[in-house]
Structure 1
Amino acid sequence: MATLKNYTLLYDDDCPLCKTYTSAFIKTKMLDKNGRQVYSSKSQMEFDYIDLEKAKNQIALINHDDKTVLYGIDSLLKVIGYSFPFVEKIGQISPIKWFLKKLYSFISYNRKVIIPIKKQDFQCMSCEPEFNIKYRIIYILFASLITSLVLYQYSEQLSFLPDSTIGRETVLAIGQIVFQSVFLLKITRNDLLNYIGNLMTVSLMGSLLLMPIIVINHFIMLPTLILLSWFGLTALLMFKEHYRRVNLLNLPTYLSYTWVLYRVIALLLILNL
């Protein structure tokens, strides 16, 4: 595999995904041993030719020979394309590159709500992406849609529940956001959307945990007790993750209990309507 030499990726050390794929580039020798560097450890000399704000949102690839910098999907296509030229050629096709750029931005701008860190850890030299309301709302809608579809499928497996509809599950997902927001009216809009992003990440994680049981149940009819037990275990894990994230965001811990309260109210309404 060809090694792209004398190039360095500036990565976010607080982002597990960033650490994983930049480390993989080194281990597979797509970059040399000096091919990645933590964003906060840049030298003063590098400040002159790096767009520091842009590098927070899009991983920067520094060419040390001519002091030029590529950002985001262009950086990744350059690294991968050096070893696999056909990947770069495909990635440069206009519709494909447009899609890759949008996908990259979708993940990058939301990476701190996908995997959060403690709020006070953000410092002036941290690689915290700027707040992008468009991509945050898209992420919330995406997570709501996936959650609604999965819960609809899971509800269909439970014969004692009234017939489910995607519309009902969508209303419940959006209702959770509205219900929790009522308890956060005094915080800023950005902080509220950060919390909602984390809230929907928890819901998305729960959906991913439920999906294997849905697939298995299509081939083997599982007992209702197993379906309920798995759902209960998933809800417990979701509660613990929600509680952890609330603490990381320095928000009131009672939000985790209002989260449970909403679920109980929703279940009672489903059973009695």
Structure 2
Amino acid sequence: MKTLNNHTILYDEDCPLCNAYTSTFINTKMLDEEGRKPYCKISNHEREFVDIERAANEIALVDNENKEVIYGIDSLLKIIGFSFPLIEKIGNFAPVNFLLRKLYSFISYNRKVIMPSEKKEDLNLECSPSFNFKYRLLYIVLGLLITVVTLFKFSELIEILPVSSYQREVFLAVGMVVSQLLFIIKKDYQTQINYIGNIITVSLFGCIGLFQLMLLRSVFPIPQSVILVGFTGTVALMFFEHKRRIQLLELPTYLSWTWIGYRILVLLLILNF
């Protein structure tokens, strides 16, 4: 690998994905040993030429010699392209670059609902992205669609359940969101949307668990009891993850119980009607 010297990438140290790929840049020698720095440790000198707000939304790459900064997908392409020029060329091809920018923004603006972190009161700078309703709504809609399809397919494996339909799963998924919103109706709009984003992430984690069960079922003849145990275990893990996120968001703890209560009520209604 060719090392891009005298450049420092400013990353969100509370973001697992940011940690992973910036450490990879260091370990593979794409950047030198001093080539990454937590956003919260930006010096007063760096604040003179780094756009602080933009750097929280798009990871910044600082040219330490020329005091120039590039952001987001451009910074990643420059680092990777220094070792692999062809990748940089492809990434800068207009249609590909457009898609990469949209994908980067989608992940970056939603990273705190994908992987929330504890608020650190002692920090002067916190690397939290600006609230972007467009990308948050897109994340919620995509998450709901994935949840609906996964639950519809998984319901076919549980013999005691009546035949499902996409309409029913859409109604139940949207109903879950609406019912939880009713319990935080007095909270501000941004808090409500952030909470719904976290609910969607918990649902997507559950989808991963259910997908693994479906994959195993397609390969091995798994008994119905094992499927039920696996489903129950997945829901239990989702409950504890929801509870953890509620604490991080500093929302009422009863939201975890209303969240699981809705699911129990829905299951009883499906089994009896």
Deviation sequence 1:188-233 (CA, Å, 0-9, x none): 0000111111111110001001111111212323111011000000
Which runs of structure 1 show a deviation greater than 3 angstroms over 4 or more consecutive aligned residues? Answer: 119-124
Task: Tell me the SS of whatever aligns to 1:208.
Answer: helix
Residue 170 of structure 1: how far off its partner (Å): 1.7
Q: Could you tell me which residue of structure 1 aligns to residue 202 of structure 2?
A: 202
For 1:81 and 1:118, the matched residues in 2 are separated by 34
What pairs with 1:74-89 in structure 2 (closer than 5 Å)?
A: 74-89=74-89
Q: How many residues align?
A: 273
For 2:83 and 2:270, the matched residues in 1 are separated by 55
* TM-score, L = length of structure 2: 0.97
> Any conservation in 1 of the 2:7–2:63 contact (CA below 8 Å)?
yes
Q: Could you tell me which residue of structure 2 aligns to residue 217 of structure 1?
A: 217
Deviation sequence 1:79-123 (CA, Å, 0-9, x none): 011111111111011111111111111111111111112246485
For 2:43 and 2:18, the matched residues in 1 are separated by 20
> Any conservation in 2 of the 1:119–1:250 contact (CA below 8 Å)?
no
Where structure 2 has 5 or more consecutive residues not aligned to the other structure, the ranges are none
Amino acid at match of 2:261: L
Where structure 1 has 5 or more consecutive residues not aligned to the other structure, the ranges are none
Once structures 1 and 2 are overlaid, which stretch shifts more, 118-127 or 8-17? Answer: 118-127
Q: Could you tell me which residue of structure 2 aligns to residue 263 of structure 1?
A: 263
Deviation sequence 1:106-154 (CA, Å, 0-9, x none): 1111111111122464854111111111111111111111111111111
> Any conservation in 2 of the 1:122–1:128 contact (CA below 8 Å)?
no
Deviation sequence 1:7-35 (CA, Å, 0-9, x none): 11000111111111101100010000011
Q: Could you tell me which residue of structure 1 aligns to residue 185 of structure 2?
A: 185
Deviation sequence 1:35-56 (CA, Å, 0-9, x none): 1011111121111211110000
- Structure 1 residues 40 and 192: CA distance shift in structure 2, 3 A: same
> Any conservation in 2 of the 1:113–1:194 contact (CA below 8 Å)?
yes
Once structures 1 and 2 are overlaid, which stretch shifts more, 218-227 or 203-212? Answer: 218-227
- Structure 1 residues 240 and 230: CA distance shift in structure 2, 3 A: same
Task: Tell me the SS of whatever aligns to 1:116.
Answer: coil
For 1:122 and 1:133, the matched residues in 2 are separated by 28
- Structure 1 residues 121 and 177: CA distance shift in structure 2, 3 A: farther
Deviation sequence 1:227-253 (CA, Å, 0-9, x none): 100000000000001011101111111
Q: Could you tell me which residue of structure 1 aligns to residue 162 of structure 2?
A: 162
Seq. identity, %? 51
For 2:48 and 2:257, the matched residues in 1 are separated by 49
Task: Tell me the SS of whatever aligns to 1:233.
Answer: helix
Task: Tell me the SS of whatever aligns to 1:184.
Answer: coil
Q: Could you tell me which residue of structure 2 aligns to residue 251 of structure 1?
A: 251
For 1:64 and 1:35, the matched residues in 2 are separated by 10
Q: Could you tell me which residue of structure 2 aligns to residue 50 of structure 1?
A: 50
Amino acid at match of 2:184: L
Q: Could you tell me which residue of structure 1 aligns to residue 37 of structure 2?
A: 37
For 2:86 and 2:56, the matched residues in 1 are separated by 28
Deviation sequence 1:57-97 (CA, Å, 0-9, x none): 00000111221111000010000111111111110111111
For 1:41 and 1:262, the matched residues in 2 are separated by 43
Q: Could you tell me which residue of structure 1 aligns to residue 21 of structure 2?
A: 21
Amino acid at match of 1:84: F
For 1:258 and 1:268, the matched residues in 2 are separated by 15
Once structures 1 and 2 are overlaid, which stretch shifts more, 260-269 or 4-13? Answer: 260-269
> Any conservation in 1 of the 2:147–2:207 contact (CA below 8 Å)?
yes
> Any conservation in 1 of the 2:119–2:248 contact (CA below 8 Å)?
yes
For 2:133 and 2:218, the matched residues in 1 are separated by 39
